[in-house]
Amino acid sequence: MNHESPLLDHLLELRRRILRSVVAVILVFIVAAIFADELYAWLAQPLLINLPEGTSMIATDVATPFFTPFKLAFVVAIAVAVPYLLWQLWGFIAPGLYQKERRLVWPLILSSTLLFYIGAAFAYFVVIPIALSFFVKAAPAGVVVATDIAAYLDFVLTIFVAFGIAFETPVAIILLVWTGATSVTALRQKRPYIIVGAFVVGMLLTPPDVISQTLLAIPMCLLFELGLWIAGLYSPEAKTEQPQE
């Protein structure tokens, strides 16, 4: 019983925090659903601006015009609730961490959340308008560009997730260095391979066009350098080198 009671307490605590997270997402979704059409109109703006005159978006399924805006509202609800979801996760794992680890986790959670939002914003304001302008202008003569609203949403969400994850590069590097999995020196020596890998990741995560791939790979390379610089300030290597200087 002594061993089962702590396990049961942990499971009950996990259940409470999952329920709180689900309720938070549902509450935000209710609010977002009220503005679902406005949210989709805002999301579709980069495409509508680039569509040829006299054309518009279409819906190839009967239920698509109804469900697509609510799908977007649900995604927005999760994105808005991310700080609260991470807080619940932190509250669950914090009791099992040392004091030094607790001081490290909060900055990482806040920075990773902020970087994900910045990546999604970069995709919306920079990447998507450029990519859509290229796609529309590249359409062969006689082809009318009329994008399905559900396909457009899937396309944009894929870009958002790809850039949000890519912008987590500094956090990933800092964790790798701080946990001892690698070192700043080793990463610097592998810089050429990492640059090539960034373009490969851009090819895999973005639609099959050179513009999106390049616009993802270049920020990843810059963020890699930023992660190296930050990790170098606090890595064990830096601490051991300081007295010798």
Sign of CA dihedral 106, 109, 113, 116: positive
Provide the residue range defining the domain that includes 224: 42-63+97-234
Domain membership of residue 157 (yes or no) is: yes
pLDDT at 207: 64
Domain membership of residue 153 (yes or no) is: yes
Domain membership of residue 197 (yes or no) is: yes
> How far, in Å, CA of 222 to CA of 17, rounded?
37
Mean pLDDT of 101-115: 80
- Helices marked H in 35-168: 36-50, 64-93, 99-122, 128-137, 149-166
Domain count, the chain: 1
**pLDDT tens-digit map of 126-174:** 888 888 888 888 777 777 778 889 999 998 998 898 888 888 888 888 8
Domain membership of residue 48 (yes or no) is: yes
Confidence of residue 208 (pLDDT cuts 50, 70, 90): low
Domain membership of residue 91 (yes or no) is: no
Query: Which residue reads 């910045």 in tokens?
Result: 118
Cα torsion at 177, 180, 184, 186 (round to 10°)?
Answer: -130
Residues 6+ apart with CB under 8 A from 105: 90, 93, 94, 97
Confidence of residue 245 (pLDDT cuts 50, 70, 90): very low
Domain membership of residue 209 (yes or no) is: yes
Helix axes 236-244, 210-234, angle to 10 degrees: 50
Domain membership of residue 83 (yes or no) is: no
Among the ranges given (14-18, 40-44, 141-145, 186-190), the one the predictor scored with the smallest mean pLDDT: 141-145
